[in-house]
Structure 1
């Protein structure tokens, strides 16, 4: 059965800063969720939290999100925002649970509306579901700034994996890049989901790699090789030198050819069908049917 387990053994304090980052690994989906705290005010954000989901039984659990909540409470942190880098296809979001427990708001990029429209059609969602982003508390625009305590969070729109991907750049020292980049020995995000584009991803990555070489990059997933364990933090300099898909010197044409060829070999993520249905709703469940039961849909022979 096994709900995913979250390991809280990872910790990292950003160099020359009072911003503390705690990484939580969901071993089932190999997703990293982050608690980022301004140590001066104890105001915090959470990025990409995971709701446990056992596909075989159709049961959800908040065990992993509760570990994040416990961490926040133990350190006296005030959670201000739950930030999603995009509508994930490989795990369900625990944003509504954290919002209910703390009063935090949920934010995502404004282009989520495009993703919502696409999947409203694919899943033939109920008329009451409006693809206008209103399910989220705030839709961020490119280059907008969000302030939390002493953290200045710059929004960078990084489409390509999906039309709505964002990176959250904090105090120009660290960037939470979602699925756009992985660790250098893993490469970059796939681009074969609806609205994805390898060419667009190439230019989104170039914008990230134009940041200061010392900028810390925190990835949403890691799929480690046999020679190492899970890692979650790299730098712009390391990516430019070592990323197997997009290091310095790789042209747009080379990247697009490599990425599209690679994507043709990939199977769909195991949880894409349940995950997308919740995540375009800011993690909320679909409305219950007339028997009081909530259901998810599986479109046959479509994706």
Structure 2
């Protein structure tokens, strides 16, 4: 059974969140929701998440799952807010524990922080299947951008996270802690070995000048035209290109606040004695 998909573009972070469902009144999953964050003021807002809520309530959908494709470095997750408002269970790849361990050291998190994934309701393994009402989801491990990247296959649709971008943009970077260009190449080939008409839904789009944002592609389109990984490009050529390109890239604007929140499944750090939560900025570390 193939899902209906409603997608929501967030222009502040170039992120696309998706709602996958069968029909009006059915169960649904939210994939990669965004919590608005003003880095100048350190203030969070729920404008992007409220758009998802409005659509879900208007269509009388029931949220079974809130799915994260990875611990994002470019936006904060709205998973906790959405779970409080709509219910559902928050899931991510079981390998999130590797990411938590790395960043717990980088941010010198509080002793009570446990890098065991318990902050999420469900830790998913490669090939694991679960249901969204009548829809069946298969978890597809696609490491490379991070060690804990997970794509979600629902019928003829795959939500690929940051593994692939639109064909004219290419592929994800691999220079974050735990990233690996060899792993990314193999993950992408795993996706591109799916049937040609498989729908691929992106988590981000950074369109070239003159093209509006887009987020749906296909296996056939990616194999024919992806500027980094089209058919005929081998692993070593890709790795050489990816590593050279990554060496020129700046860190994402929101990486420091985003990762601290996202390894906690979207929860804020524990409030201090004055009732305020704080984020850390490690100097000369990344």
TM range (shorter): over 0.9
Kept after mapping to 2: 8 A contact 1:245/1:255: yes
Higher relative contact order (CA 8 A, sep 6+): 2
What number of residue pairs does the alignment pair up? 286
Match of residue 265 from structure 2:
282
Alignment partners' CA distance in 2, 1:41 and 1:54: 35
Give the superposed CA RMSD: 0.9
How far does the alpha carbon of each residue in 1:90-147 deviate from its partner, in whole angstroms, 9 at most, with x for none?
0000000110011211000000000000000000001110000000000000000011
Match of residue 268 from structure 1:
251
Alignment partners' CA distance in 1, 2:275 and 2:59: 39
| Residues 1:91 and 2:75 are matched in the alignment | yes
Alignment partners' CA distance in 1, 2:223 and 2:236: 17
Show the 5 A alignment for 1:3-82: 19-39=3-23, 42-82=26-66
Match of residue 113 from structure 1:
97
SS of the aligned residue for 1:234 comes to strand
Q: Which runs of 4+ in 1 moved over 2 A?
A: none
Show the 5 A alignment for 1:95-174: 95-171=79-155, 173-174=156-157
Match of residue 184 from structure 1:
167
| Residues 1:298 and 2:255 are matched in the alignment | no
Match of residue 195 from structure 1:
178
Kept after mapping to 1: 8 A contact 2:25/2:60: no
Residue 281 and residue 21 in structure 1: after superposition, are their counterparts in 2 closer, same or farther (change >3 A)?
same
* Offset at residue 19 of structure 1 (A): 2.1
Show the 5 A alignment for 1:218-229: 218-229=201-212
Alignment partner of 1:256 out of 229, 239, 261: 239
* Offset at residue 41 of structure 1 (A): 5.6
How far does the alpha carbon of each residue in 1:183-227 deviate from its partner, in whole angstroms, 9 at most, with x for none?
000000000000000001000001000000000000000000113
Match of residue 3 from structure 1:
none
* Offset at residue 64 of structure 1 (A): 1.2
